[in-house]
């Protein structure tokens, strides 16, 4: 078996316990074990035989899986602290999330003072460095251990039921005793959990509880509302300080705040989760669409547009009615069931089926800026990041089986190109494989996963495998981009689908003259949601968008009333040149006008006074208050057009 520690590899023999190999070094948090490409996460205290896995890697906080174990353990410390301070509280679940952890608790609302006391109790538990141990117990023992907590009893019953179904175990009482459940213990505190966890509570360095909010059990508004306590933890206090500083910066960059300041969009009670785009916002929106359309034309896509409402029968055949039902909106027309589309793919299939296609036509590329609707609970709506209606930059590539690898590689290249245009170059890739709730033939799934891996390997792209996280109709490649604050956003996706061509029965005429050949579908979106992507851009650039995206690119500022005529002449000339401009002919002082323009994030300010009128020039400064100085109007427009045409993310002046 291969052992990997800090990228150093060595062979190990016999029975090992990973924690003994690192001699007390608390940098190592958990174990990633691989057998036949399947991954398991284990505790550092797990005894492992050398023939049990192909390789094991010791995880640190720099590994995403290590970070998740760290935060999940901190969630258990939070739960213990709550139980010690509030014995009547009922614990439910406490997972690690992308930004730390949370725990859902059935209790009266927690006050800021409560959170402070819980955090102090957590620090006590961490300081005491309780060993964290895993125990395997029977369902009967588990129910006795958690007899006073109906949420844990429900979870135990769910585990029993799922285990019976997955393993085809007889459902008599004695068979349940063959099922083992795992619990983790620290001091006298137990929690139901599959793990893994840190070896002891003292591994946690610094912790901060960040907020509390309401959350429904099972995310169902019909259930009781719980208290969700969020937190974050790091190995060092410095890392925690840096993170909290980042949160402060993120608050300053909040796209909802910027959207209001720049008059880009709004939300209203009459349509919660449905954004209203204002004129300035539509400029950004359309600038992105227009750029994207030029790329689509270059790449040979046909743009299409399908209806928003389609018959239930189609959604049943596509698999969405069964696998995506909870995320859809429904209505009746003439007593017939219809659904508002959550995705564009079935509509594109209908367009494909309007005629017989020859093998000579492939690949066939359809693109749509499709408005889709997905049901989201009110509690998770968040500006442009989580909405109920959004536009996908959606496309489907219908290709021959032998074209799969080539077309996937083209899509990968296109994805990186588009992200780079917007100034995103820190990108990591993940491959998500077959989920439990999948449709289609297993052999086709395996073939699809192999094709995606082959394309990534040929491009020399490093990627992480997410076992079981694919779409219900096919495996997928997901692209995550990192913004200027180090936050990761999942945007683009390439999904390989053998299933939908089968269920919706699409074919083509092959070289043999028969029409019983089946094409393959590649689903792809690069920006994902135009709305969400704009929110990301606003926060990444703190509202100071590149010139080609800015709603207002220039503003002309006359020094006094005597200079308004010349300022208006410059403004009109800018307008005729296609530059988005404003004229500030208010009675405010020049310094106040400049300040107002900077607040509005306008790229360039053109100040005109006596000297500019005499020399027929403009005096230029940037929103960063960099003074460019005097320039002729024609030179200025030439430079602006170059900056716009090249879509530069930096000022070229």
Per residue in 458-490, pLDDT (tens digit) is 999 999 888 788 877 788 999 999 998 888 898
Per residue in 516-526, pLDDT (tens digit) is 999 999 999 99
Question: What's CA 282's distance to the chain center, in Å?
Answer: 23
Q: Which long-range contacts (CB under 8 A, 24 or more apart) does 572-576 make?
A: 573/633, 573/637, 574/637
- Write down the pLDDT at residue 352: 96
Question: Average model confidence (pLDDT) for the chain?
Answer: 93
Residue matched to tokens 């399908």:
306
- Write down the pLDDT at residue 467: 79
Q: Is 345 a catalytic site residue?
A: yes
Radius of gyration of the chain (CA): 29
DSSP-derived letter for residue 650 is S
Q: Is 426 a catalytic site residue?
A: no
Q: How far apart are CA 542 and CA 255, in angstroms?
A: 8
* Nearest in space to 319 (alpha carbons), one of 438, 493, 399, 436: 438
- pLDDT above 90 for 318: no
Q: Is 72 a catalytic site residue?
A: no
Instruction: Report the predicted TM-score, pTM, of the whole model to 2 decimal places.
Output: 0.80
Mean pLDDT over 582-586 rounds to 96
- Write down the pLDDT at residue 196: 97
Confidence at 333, pLDDT banded by 50, 70, 90: very high
Per residue in 503-560, pLDDT (tens digit) is 889 999 999 999 999 999 999 999 999 999 999 999 999 999 999 999 999 999 999 9
- Write down the pLDDT at residue 176: 61
Q: How far apart are CA 548 and CA 141, in angstroms?
A: 65
- Write down the pLDDT at residue 169: 53
Question: What's CA 297's distance to the chain center, in Å?
Answer: 28
User: Would strands 302-303 and 364-373 be described as parallel, antiparallel, or unpaired?
Assistant: parallel
Residue 31, both tokens: 């174990």
- pLDDT above 50 for 438: yes
pLDDT above 70 covers a percentage of the chain that reads 98
CA neighbours within 13 Å on the CB side: how many for 241? Answer: 3
Per residue in 609-629, pLDDT (tens digit) is 999 999 999 999 999 989 999
- pLDDT above 90 for 165: no
Q: Is 254 a catalytic site residue?
A: no
Q: Which of 320, 357, 396, 524 is catalytic?
A: 396
For residue 447, the surrounding DSSP H or E stretch is helix 442-458
In angstroms, what CA-CA distances link 500 with 316, 364, 445, 494?
A: 11, 16, 12, 15
- pLDDT above 90 for 261: yes
Residue matched to tokens 């192999």:
450
- Write down the pLDDT at residue 381: 87
Q: Is 10 a catalytic site residue?
A: no
Mean pLDDT over 69-93 rounds to 97
pLDDT above 90 covers a percentage of the chain that reads 81
Residue 488, both tokens: 């990761």
Q: Which of 43, 394, 497, 584 is catalytic?
A: 394
Q: Which of 67, 197, 348, 374 is catalytic?
A: 374
The residues that bridge with 471 in the sheet, in sequence order, are 474
Residue matched to tokens 């094709």:
451
**Domains of the chain from N-terminus onward:** 2-60 (no CATH), 65-251 (3.30.980.10), 258-306+357-540 (3.30.930.10), 554-645 (3.40.50.800)
Q: Which of 208, 320, 476, 621 is catalytic?
A: 476
- Write down the pLDDT at residue 170: 53
- pLDDT above 90 for 99: no
Residue matched to tokens 């006050």:
111
* Nearest in space to 95 (alpha carbons), one of 173, 224, 27, 191: 191
Per residue in 179-211, pLDDT (tens digit) is 889 999 999 999 999 999 999 999 999 999 999
The DSSP line for 56-94 is EEEE-TTSHHHHHHHHHHHHHHHHHHHHHH-TT-EE---
Confidence at 302, pLDDT banded by 50, 70, 90: very high
Q: How far apart are CA 595 and CA 625, in angstroms?
A: 9
The residues that bridge with 231 in the sheet, in sequence order, are 101, 209
- pLDDT above 60 for 174: no
- pLDDT above 90 for 440: no
Question: What's CA 277's distance to the chain center, in Å?
Answer: 22
Q: Is 278 a catalytic site residue?
A: no
Per residue in 6-20, pLDDT (tens digit) is 988 899 888 999 999
Q: Which of 193, 197, 228, 345 is catalytic?
A: 345
In angstroms, what CA-CA distances link 460 with 128, 482, 523?
A: 47, 20, 22
Q: How far apart are CA 367 and CA 358, in angstroms?
A: 20
Residue matched to tokens 């001091």:
187
Q: Which of 392, 399, 532, 563 is catalytic?
A: 392
Question: 124-139 in b/e burial notation, b at 16+ Cβ within 10 A?
Answer: ebbeeebebebeebeb
- Write down the pLDDT at residue 499: 82
Q: Which of 523, 524, 600, 623 is catalytic?
A: 523
Q: How far apart are CA 581 and CA 551, in angstroms?
A: 9
- pLDDT above 60 for 219: yes
Cis before 363 (ω within 30): yes
């Amino acid at each position: 078996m291969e052992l990997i520690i800090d990228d150093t590899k060595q062979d190990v023999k016999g029975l090992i316990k990973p924690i003994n190999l690192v001699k007390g070094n608390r940098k190592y948090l958990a174990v990633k074990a691989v057998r036949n490409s399947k991954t398991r996460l284990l505790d550092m205290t797990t005894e492992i035989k050398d023939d049990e896995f192909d390789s094991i890697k010791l995880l640190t906080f720099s590994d995403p899986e290590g970070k998740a174990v760290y935060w999940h353990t901190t969630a258990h410390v939070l739960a213990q602290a709550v139980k010690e301070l509030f014995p009547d509280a009922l614990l439910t679940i406490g997972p690690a999330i992308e930004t730390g952890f949370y725990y859902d608790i059935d209790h009266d609302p927690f006050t800021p003072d409560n959170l402070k006391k819980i955090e102090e109790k957590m620090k006590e538990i961490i300081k005491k460095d309780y060993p964290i141990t895993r125990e395997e117990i029977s369902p009967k023992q588990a129910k006795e251990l958690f007899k006073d907590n109906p949420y844990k009893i429900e979870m135990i019953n769910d585990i029993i039921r799922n285990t019976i179904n997955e393993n085809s175990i007889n459902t008599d009482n004695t068979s349940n005793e063959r099922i083992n459940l795992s619990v983790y213990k620290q001091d006298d505190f137990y929690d139901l959990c599959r793990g893994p966890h840190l070896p002891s509570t003292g591994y946690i360095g610094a912790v901060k509880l960040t907020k509390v909010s309401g959350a429904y059990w099972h995310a169902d508004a019909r259930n009781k509302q719980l208290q969700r306590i969020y937190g974050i933890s790091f190995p060092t206090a410095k890392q925690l300080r840096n993170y909290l500083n980042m949160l402060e910066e993120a608050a300053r960059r909040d796209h909802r705040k910027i959207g209001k300041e720049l008059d880009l969009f709004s939300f209203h009670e009459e349509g919660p989760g449905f954004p209203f785009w204002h004129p300035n916002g539509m400029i950004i929106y359309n600038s992105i669409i227009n750029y994207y359309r030029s790329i689509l034309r270059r790449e040979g896509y046909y743009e299409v547009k399908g209806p928003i409402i389609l018959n239930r029968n189609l959604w049943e055949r596509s698999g969405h009615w069964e696998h995506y039902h909870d995320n859809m909106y429904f209505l009746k027309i003439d007593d017939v069931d219809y659904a508002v589309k959550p995705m564009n793919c079935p509509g594109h299939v209908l367009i494909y089926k309007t005629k017989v296609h020859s093998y000579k036509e492939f690949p066939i590329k359809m693109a749509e800026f499709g408005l889709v609707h997905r049901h989201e609970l009110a509690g998770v709506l968040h500006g442009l990041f989580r909405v109920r209606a959004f536009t996908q930059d959606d496309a489907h590539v219908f290709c021959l089986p032998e074209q799969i690898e080539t077309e996937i590689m083209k899509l990968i290249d296109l994805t990186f190109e588009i992200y780079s245009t917007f100034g995103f170059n820190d990108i990591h890739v993940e491959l998500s494989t077959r989920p439990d709730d999948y449709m289609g033939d297993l052999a086709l799934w395996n073939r699809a996963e192999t094709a995606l891996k082959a394309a990534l390997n040929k491009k020399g792209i490093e990627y992480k495998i997410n076992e079981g996280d694919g779409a219900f109709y096919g495996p997928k490649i997901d692209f995550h981009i990192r913004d200027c604050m180090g936050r990761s956003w999942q945007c683009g996706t390439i999904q390989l689908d053998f299933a939908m061509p089968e269920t919706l029965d699409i074919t083509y005429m092959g070289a043999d003259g028969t029409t019983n050949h089946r094409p393959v579908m590649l689903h792809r979106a690069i920006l994902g949601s135009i709305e969400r992507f704009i929110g990301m851009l606003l926060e990444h650039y703190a509202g100071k968008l590149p010139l080609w995206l800015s709603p207002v690119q220039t503003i002309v500022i006359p020094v006094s009333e005597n200079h308004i005529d010349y300022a208006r002449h410059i403004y009109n000339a800018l307008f005729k040149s296609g530059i988005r401009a404003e004229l500030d002919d208010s009675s405010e002082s020049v310094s106040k006008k400049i300040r107002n323009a900077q607040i509005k994030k306008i790229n360039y300010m053109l100040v005109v006074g006596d000297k500019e009128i005499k020399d027929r020039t403009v005096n230029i400064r940037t929103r960063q208050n960099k003074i460019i100085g005097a320039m002729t109007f024609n030179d200025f427009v030439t430079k602006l057009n170059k900056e716009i045409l090249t879509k530069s993310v930096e000022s070229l002046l």
